[in-house]
């Protein structure tokens, strides 16, 4: 099914995030659509507003910042007006999230299996024993060998790549419609990064969930996303199908990103190949 015929899942119009005393808007009038089952990448330098855009969707923008939007809708829900109790039914269940440093989001005093099981229990309402079994199954489905043994480990006993898979398991425990991945591979070496990207791509394909992937690295975004949104200075400067943007970038900033990442071989790959990796 083409992107154009899919039903919109997330719709953002005129999203603006401000900070007291800031010389400009941190996010300035962003428009964005993510369709069901679609993978969209937001790429840009640090401070471009890409992470704040995602945090707006998750309802976790710091209180000190101001947020307004003409439309901030997820599957018909007006996210801009949701109260915290309603957010509990959306965040973690309908929308999952994975962040850059998994160790910061995991409890160091609990085994990873217990933490994944708790996410399953809360999201699916399963009894504790059934939730533990489901947690092991989730970890195994993400490519962790001997998942039952891994589940007994504490976060400090696992590698960065394994921790990221654990965090992904907690994020998909509620079978969300949308998974937001904010710089999930930045701290990983190239080999582990490729493995995590493969896991995310497989999840998006096999579960049919929508993926909103954030990175400063155009090469990484191009590997997993059908469509690219380029941000700079809090605004969207270019958007389009991955293949089209890589083949003929329209904005000078996008062209500079492409030149900067030639070492990754993007320009030597056919656009169709990049778009469907």
Tell me the pTM: 0.89
Give the model's confidence band at 213: pLDDT under 50 very low, under 70 low, under 90 confident, else very high: very high
- Residue 198 near residue 116, CB atoms below 8 Å: no
Q: What are phi and psi of 17, to 5 degrees?
A: -125, 130
Give the model's confidence band at 180: pLDDT under 50 very low, under 70 low, under 90 confident, else very high: very high
pLDDT value at position 239? 96
The stretch 156-182 carries a mean pLDDT of: 93
pLDDT value at position 277? 35
pLDDT value at position 3? 59
Which single residue is written with the structure tokens 């923008």?
Answer: 61
pLDDT value at position 157? 96
Which single residue is written with the structure tokens 């965090």?
Answer: 167
Q: In angstroms, rounded to a whole number, what is the distance separating the alpha carbons of residues 117 and 130? A: 9
Give the model's confidence band at 125: pLDDT under 50 very low, under 70 low, under 90 confident, else very high: confident
What rounded mean pLDDT belongs to the chain?
89
The stretch 17-28 carries a mean pLDDT of: 93
pLDDT value at position 2? 56
Q: What are phi and psi of 185, to 5 degrees?
A: -120, 5
pLDDT value at position 268? 39
Which single residue is written with the structure tokens 């003929």?
Answer: 248
pLDDT value at position 100? 85
The stretch 44-62 carries a mean pLDDT of: 93
Contacts of 52 (CB under 8 A, 6+ apart): 17, 26, 27, 61, 65
Task: Tell me: pLDDT of 267 over 60.
Answer: no
pLDDT value at position 192? 87
CA distances (Å), origin 32, targets 72, 218, 227? 10, 18, 11
The stretch 177-184 carries a mean pLDDT of: 94
């Amino acid at each position: 099914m083409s992107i154009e015929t899919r039903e919109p899942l997330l719709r953002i119009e005129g999203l603006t995030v401000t900070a007291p005393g800031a010389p400009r808007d941190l996010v300035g009038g962003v428009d964005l659509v993510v369709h069901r089952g679609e993978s969209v990448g937001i790429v840009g330098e640090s401070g471009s507003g890409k992470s704040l855009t995602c945090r707006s969707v998750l309802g976790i923008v710091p209180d000190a910042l101001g947020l307004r939007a003409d439309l901030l809708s997820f599957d018909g829900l007006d996210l801009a007006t949701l109260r915290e109790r309603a957010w509990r039914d959306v965040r973690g269940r309908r929308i999952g999230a994975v962040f850059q440093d998994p160790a910061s989001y995991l409890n160091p005093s609990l085994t990873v299996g217990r933490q994944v099981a708790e996410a399953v229990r809360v999201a699916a309402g399963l009894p504790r024993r059934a939730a533990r079994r489901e947690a092991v199954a989730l970890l195994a489905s993400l490519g962790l060998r001997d998942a039952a043994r891994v589940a007994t480990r504490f976060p400090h006993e696992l590698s960065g790549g394994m921790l990221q898979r654990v965090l992904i398991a907690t994020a998909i425990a509620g079978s969300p419609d949308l998974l937001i991945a904010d710089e999930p591979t930045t701290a990983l070496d190239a080999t582990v990064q490729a493995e995590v990207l493969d896991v995310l791509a497989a999840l998006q394909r096999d579960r049919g969930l929508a993926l909103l992937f954030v990175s400063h690295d155009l090469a990484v975004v191009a590997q997993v996303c059908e469509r690219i949104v380029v941000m700079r200075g809090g605004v969207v400067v270019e958007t389009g199908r991955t293949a089209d943007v890589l083949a003929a970038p329209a904005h000078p900033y996008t062209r500079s990103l492409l030149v900067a990442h030639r070492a990754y071989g993007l320009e030597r790959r056919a656009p169709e190949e990049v778009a469907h990796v």
